[in-house]
Protein backbone atom coordinates (compact mmCIF):
# COMPACT_ATOMS: atom_id res chain seq x y z
CA UNK A 1 0.00 0.00 0.00
CA UNK A 2 1.42 3.42 -0.96
CA UNK A 3 1.86 6.22 1.56
CA UNK A 4 -0.88 8.32 0.04
CA UNK A 5 -3.31 5.38 -0.05
CA UNK A 6 -2.62 4.81 3.64
CA UNK A 7 -3.28 8.48 4.43
CA UNK A 8 -6.55 8.36 2.48
CA UNK A 9 -7.76 5.27 4.37
CA UNK A 10 -6.84 6.80 7.73
CA UNK A 11 -8.57 10.07 6.84
CA UNK A 12 -11.75 8.25 5.82
CA UNK A 13 -11.69 6.09 8.94
CA UNK A 14 -11.23 9.10 11.19
CA UNK A 15 -14.05 11.00 9.49
CA UNK A 16 -16.47 8.09 9.82
CA UNK A 17 -15.59 7.50 13.50
CA UNK A 18 -16.10 11.16 14.38
CA UNK A 19 -19.38 11.25 12.49
CA UNK A 20 -20.61 8.15 14.35
CA UNK A 21 -19.71 9.73 17.68
CA UNK A 22 -21.67 12.84 16.80
CA UNK A 23 -24.81 10.79 16.26
CA UNK A 24 -24.75 9.47 19.83
CA UNK A 25 -23.26 12.34 21.85
CA UNK A 26 -25.28 15.39 22.98
CA UNK A 27 -25.23 18.17 20.43
CA UNK A 28 -26.02 21.17 22.67
CA UNK A 29 -29.13 22.04 20.69
CA UNK A 30 -27.42 21.53 17.33
CA UNK A 31 -28.61 18.88 14.88
CA UNK A 32 -26.20 15.95 15.10
CA UNK A 33 -24.29 15.00 12.00
CA UNK A 34 -21.49 17.45 11.27
CA UNK A 35 -17.93 17.82 12.48
CA UNK A 36 -16.36 21.06 13.70
CA UNK A 37 -13.23 20.65 11.61
CA UNK A 38 -11.49 17.42 10.61
CA UNK A 39 -7.96 18.77 10.96
CA UNK A 40 -6.08 21.05 13.36
CA UNK A 41 -6.33 24.74 12.48
CA UNK A 42 -4.00 25.88 9.74
CA UNK A 43 -2.43 29.30 9.39
CA UNK A 44 -4.63 32.00 10.99
CA UNK A 45 -6.56 34.53 8.94
CA UNK A 46 -4.28 37.28 10.27
CA UNK A 47 -1.34 35.73 8.40
CA UNK A 48 -2.83 36.68 5.02
CA UNK A 49 -3.63 39.99 3.32
CA UNK A 50 -7.24 41.01 2.89
CA UNK A 51 -8.53 40.87 -0.69
CA UNK A 52 -8.29 44.20 -2.51
CA UNK A 53 -11.90 44.00 -3.72
CA UNK A 54 -15.40 43.74 -2.34
CA UNK A 55 -16.55 40.52 -0.67
CA UNK A 56 -20.20 39.62 -1.25
CA UNK A 57 -22.32 38.74 1.76
CA UNK A 58 -23.70 35.22 2.27
CA UNK A 59 -27.41 35.51 1.61
CA UNK A 60 -28.68 31.98 0.91
CA UNK A 61 -27.62 28.34 0.83
CA UNK A 62 -29.21 27.85 -2.62
CA UNK A 63 -27.93 29.45 -5.82
CA UNK A 64 -30.99 28.50 -7.88
CA UNK A 65 -33.77 25.95 -7.67
CA UNK A 66 -32.51 22.45 -8.33
CA UNK A 67 -35.10 21.53 -10.95
CA UNK A 68 -34.04 24.32 -13.29
CA UNK A 69 -30.38 23.48 -12.75
CA UNK A 70 -31.02 19.84 -13.58
CA UNK A 71 -33.06 20.77 -16.65
CA UNK A 72 -30.10 22.83 -17.86
CA UNK A 73 -27.84 19.83 -17.31
CA UNK A 74 -25.52 21.82 -15.05
CA UNK A 75 -24.26 19.15 -12.67
CA UNK A 76 -24.08 16.45 -15.33
CA UNK A 77 -21.88 18.60 -17.54
CA UNK A 78 -19.65 19.70 -14.66
CA UNK A 79 -18.98 16.18 -13.37
CA UNK A 80 -18.29 15.05 -16.93
CA UNK A 81 -15.83 17.89 -17.59
CA UNK A 82 -14.09 17.18 -14.28
CA UNK A 83 -14.01 13.43 -14.84
CA UNK A 84 -15.75 12.63 -11.55
CA UNK A 85 -15.97 8.84 -11.31
CA UNK A 86 -16.51 6.07 -8.75
CA UNK A 87 -13.84 5.96 -6.07
CA UNK A 88 -12.95 9.65 -6.17
CA UNK A 89 -12.78 11.66 -2.92
CA UNK A 90 -14.23 15.14 -3.39
CA UNK A 91 -14.56 18.23 -1.19
CA UNK A 92 -17.63 20.39 -1.81
CA UNK A 93 -16.39 23.68 -0.33
CA UNK A 94 -19.27 25.96 0.59
CA UNK A 95 -21.72 23.11 0.13
CA UNK A 96 -24.79 25.13 1.11
CA UNK A 97 -28.01 23.21 0.50
CA UNK A 98 -26.08 20.26 -0.92
CA UNK A 99 -27.01 20.44 -4.60
CA UNK A 100 -23.58 19.16 -5.61
CA UNK A 101 -22.97 17.16 -2.44
CA UNK A 102 -25.73 14.61 -3.10
CA UNK A 103 -24.99 14.36 -6.82
CA UNK A 104 -21.27 13.92 -6.22
CA UNK A 105 -21.94 11.26 -3.57
CA UNK A 106 -24.03 9.24 -6.01
CA UNK A 107 -21.38 9.62 -8.71
CA UNK A 108 -18.35 8.59 -6.61
CA UNK A 109 -20.29 5.70 -5.05
CA UNK A 110 -19.40 3.71 -1.94
CA UNK A 111 -15.75 3.49 -2.99
CA UNK A 112 -15.45 7.28 -2.92
CA UNK A 113 -16.34 9.97 -0.40
CA UNK A 114 -17.59 13.55 -0.27
CA UNK A 115 -16.54 16.11 2.34
CA UNK A 116 -19.33 18.71 2.40
CA UNK A 117 -17.85 21.84 4.00
CA UNK A 118 -19.50 25.11 4.96
CA UNK A 119 -19.14 27.83 7.58
CA UNK A 120 -22.82 28.47 8.40
CA UNK A 121 -24.19 26.17 11.15
CA UNK A 122 -27.82 26.44 9.99
CA UNK A 123 -26.83 25.33 6.48
CA UNK A 124 -24.90 22.39 7.90
CA UNK A 125 -27.82 21.34 10.09
CA UNK A 126 -30.16 21.27 7.09
CA UNK A 127 -27.59 19.51 4.94
CA UNK A 128 -27.04 16.84 7.60
CA UNK A 129 -30.76 16.11 7.59
CA UNK A 130 -30.86 16.01 3.80
CA UNK A 131 -27.91 13.64 3.52
CA UNK A 132 -29.50 11.33 6.09
CA UNK A 133 -32.93 11.39 4.44
CA UNK A 134 -31.42 10.55 1.04
CA UNK A 135 -29.52 7.58 2.46
CA UNK A 136 -26.08 9.08 1.82
CA UNK A 137 -24.76 9.48 5.37
CA UNK A 138 -22.15 6.76 4.84
CA UNK A 139 -20.80 8.52 1.75
CA UNK A 140 -20.72 12.11 3.04
CA UNK A 141 -18.88 13.75 5.93
CA UNK A 142 -20.23 17.20 6.78
CA UNK A 143 -17.57 19.60 8.03
CA UNK A 144 -17.80 23.03 9.58
CA UNK A 145 -14.82 25.00 8.37
CA UNK A 146 -13.76 28.61 8.76
CA UNK A 147 -13.70 31.42 6.16
CA UNK A 148 -9.90 31.10 5.95
CA UNK A 149 -9.58 27.34 6.54
CA UNK A 150 -11.71 24.40 5.34
CA UNK A 151 -10.27 22.19 8.14
CA UNK A 152 -9.99 19.10 5.94
CA UNK A 153 -7.66 16.15 6.67
CA UNK A 154 -4.24 16.13 5.03
CA UNK A 155 -4.07 14.22 1.76
CA UNK A 156 -7.80 13.51 1.77
CA UNK A 157 -9.19 14.78 -1.56
CA UNK A 158 -8.67 14.34 -5.28
CA UNK A 159 -10.90 17.27 -6.22
CA UNK A 160 -12.09 20.40 -4.39
CA UNK A 161 -15.15 22.08 -5.89
CA UNK A 162 -16.20 25.65 -5.04
CA UNK A 163 -19.57 26.52 -6.58
CA UNK A 164 -20.97 30.06 -6.66
CA UNK A 165 -19.33 30.95 -3.36
CA UNK A 166 -15.78 32.14 -4.02
CA UNK A 167 -16.92 35.78 -4.10
CA UNK A 168 -18.34 35.33 -0.56
CA UNK A 169 -15.06 34.14 0.99
CA UNK A 170 -13.80 36.84 3.34
CA UNK A 171 -10.25 35.48 3.35
CA UNK A 172 -9.68 33.79 -0.05
CA UNK A 173 -5.88 33.68 0.26
CA UNK A 174 -6.09 31.89 3.59
CA UNK A 175 -8.74 29.47 2.34
CA UNK A 176 -6.68 28.50 -0.70
CA UNK A 177 -3.46 28.22 1.30
CA UNK A 178 -5.04 26.09 4.06
CA UNK A 179 -6.82 23.92 1.48
CA UNK A 180 -3.56 22.88 -0.12
CA UNK A 181 -2.48 20.26 2.48
CA UNK A 182 -5.76 18.39 1.90
CA UNK A 183 -4.95 17.96 -1.80
CA UNK A 184 -3.37 14.70 -2.91
CA UNK A 185 -0.74 14.61 -5.67
CA UNK A 186 -2.55 15.31 -8.93
CA UNK A 187 -5.57 16.87 -7.19
CA UNK A 188 -7.45 19.77 -8.73
CA UNK A 189 -9.38 22.79 -7.49
CA UNK A 190 -12.43 23.71 -9.59
CA UNK A 191 -14.33 26.98 -9.27
CA UNK A 192 -17.74 27.75 -10.75
CA UNK A 193 -18.79 31.40 -10.72
CA UNK A 194 -20.50 34.11 -12.74
CA UNK A 195 -18.81 36.73 -14.90
CA UNK A 196 -19.76 39.56 -12.54
CA UNK A 197 -17.99 41.79 -10.09
CA UNK A 198 -17.57 40.24 -6.67
CA UNK A 199 -20.00 42.68 -5.05
CA UNK A 200 -22.64 41.39 -7.48
CA UNK A 201 -22.02 37.75 -6.56
CA UNK A 202 -19.57 36.75 -9.23
CA UNK A 203 -15.82 36.77 -9.89
CA UNK A 204 -14.19 38.09 -13.07
CA UNK A 205 -12.08 35.22 -14.49
CA UNK A 206 -8.89 37.31 -14.63
CA UNK A 207 -9.28 38.24 -10.98
CA UNK A 208 -9.85 34.60 -10.03
CA UNK A 209 -6.71 33.53 -11.92
CA UNK A 210 -4.69 36.28 -10.25
CA UNK A 211 -5.81 35.40 -6.72
CA UNK A 212 -5.14 31.69 -7.14
CA UNK A 213 -1.78 32.38 -8.77
CA UNK A 214 -0.84 34.55 -5.78
CA UNK A 215 -1.15 31.46 -3.56
CA UNK A 216 0.69 29.18 -5.98
CA UNK A 217 -2.03 27.61 -8.16
CA UNK A 218 -1.99 27.50 -11.95
CA UNK A 219 -5.01 27.28 -14.24
CA UNK A 220 -5.19 24.05 -16.23
CA UNK A 221 -8.62 24.31 -17.90
CA UNK A 222 -11.44 26.79 -18.46
CA UNK A 223 -14.99 26.15 -19.70
CA UNK A 224 -17.92 28.42 -20.42
CA UNK A 225 -21.15 27.20 -18.85
CA UNK A 226 -24.71 28.44 -19.23
CA UNK A 227 -25.96 31.94 -18.38
CA UNK A 228 -22.65 33.76 -18.20
CA UNK A 229 -21.08 31.31 -15.77
CA UNK A 230 -17.81 29.45 -16.10
CA UNK A 231 -15.83 26.54 -14.70
CA UNK A 232 -12.14 27.19 -14.02
CA UNK A 233 -9.81 24.35 -13.01
CA UNK A 234 -6.52 24.80 -11.15
CA UNK A 235 -3.67 22.66 -9.88
CA UNK A 236 -1.31 23.50 -7.03
CA UNK A 237 2.21 24.38 -8.05
CA UNK A 238 5.28 22.59 -6.81
CA UNK A 239 5.70 24.95 -3.88
CA UNK A 240 3.04 27.06 -2.09
CA UNK A 241 3.60 30.75 -1.60
CA UNK A 242 4.53 31.80 1.93
CA UNK A 243 1.69 33.79 3.53
CA UNK A 244 3.95 36.81 4.03
CA UNK A 245 4.82 36.93 0.30
CA UNK A 246 1.21 36.95 -0.94
CA UNK A 247 0.18 40.25 -2.49
CA UNK A 248 -3.53 41.00 -3.02
CA UNK A 249 -4.64 41.29 -6.63
CA UNK A 250 -5.87 44.59 -7.96
CA UNK A 251 -9.63 45.06 -8.27
CA UNK A 252 -8.91 46.11 -11.86
CA UNK A 253 -8.48 42.50 -12.96
CA UNK A 254 -11.34 41.19 -15.09
Mean pLDDT of the chain: 86
Name which residue leads in pLDDT, 88 or 17.
Answer: 88
In this model, does residue 105 exceed pLDDT 60?
A: yes
> Could you tell me the pLDDT band of residue 73, with boundaries at 50, 70 and 90?
confident
The predicted model scores a pTM of 0.84
> Could you tell me the pLDDT band of residue 248, with boundaries at 50, 70 and 90?
very high
| Cα dihedral: 171, 43, 48, 188 (round 10) | -60
In this model, does residue 189 exceed pLDDT 60?
A: yes
Give domain limits for the chain.
3-245
pLDDT in tens, 141-155: 999 999 999 999 999
Name which residue leads in pLDDT, 239 or 110.
Answer: 110
Can you name the CATH fold of 3-245? Rossmann fold (3.40.50)
DSSP state of 94: T
The alpha helices in the chain, defined as continuous H runs, are 3-24, 66-71, 74-81, 99-108, 121-133, 172-179, 205-215
> Could you tell me the pLDDT band of residue 250, with boundaries at 50, 70 and 90?
confident
Percentage of residues in the chain having pLDDT higher than 90 = 74
In this model, does residue 215 exceed pLDDT 90?
A: yes
Mean pLDDT of 147-176: 97
pLDDT at 60: 62
Mean pLDDT of 111-138: 95
- Separation CA 197–CA 64 (nearest Å): 19
- The closest of 234, 5, 1 to 111, measured between CA atoms, is 5
pLDDT in tens, 12-71: 554 544 444 443 333 333 344 788 999 999 999 999 999 999 999 876 646 567 677 767
pLDDT at 63: 53
pLDDT at 252: 52
Percentage of residues in the chain having pLDDT higher than 70 = 82
Mean pLDDT of 75-86: 95
Is residue 131 a contact partner of residue 92, using CB atoms and an 8 Å limit?
Answer: no
139 SS3 class: coil
Mean pLDDT of 116-141: 95
pLDDT at 20: 42
Strand bridging mode 217-224 / 229-236: antiparallel
Which bin fits 12, alpha (ψ -120 to 50), beta or left (φ > 0)? alpha
- Separation CA 146–CA 210 (nearest Å): 22
Amino acid sequence: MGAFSGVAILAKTYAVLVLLLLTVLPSSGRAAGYVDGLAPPGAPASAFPAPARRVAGIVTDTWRDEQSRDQAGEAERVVRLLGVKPGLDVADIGAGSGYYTVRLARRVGPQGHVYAEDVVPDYLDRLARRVSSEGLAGSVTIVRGEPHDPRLPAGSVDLALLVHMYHEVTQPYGLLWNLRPALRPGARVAVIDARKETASHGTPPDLLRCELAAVGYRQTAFYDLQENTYLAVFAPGDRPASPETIRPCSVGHG
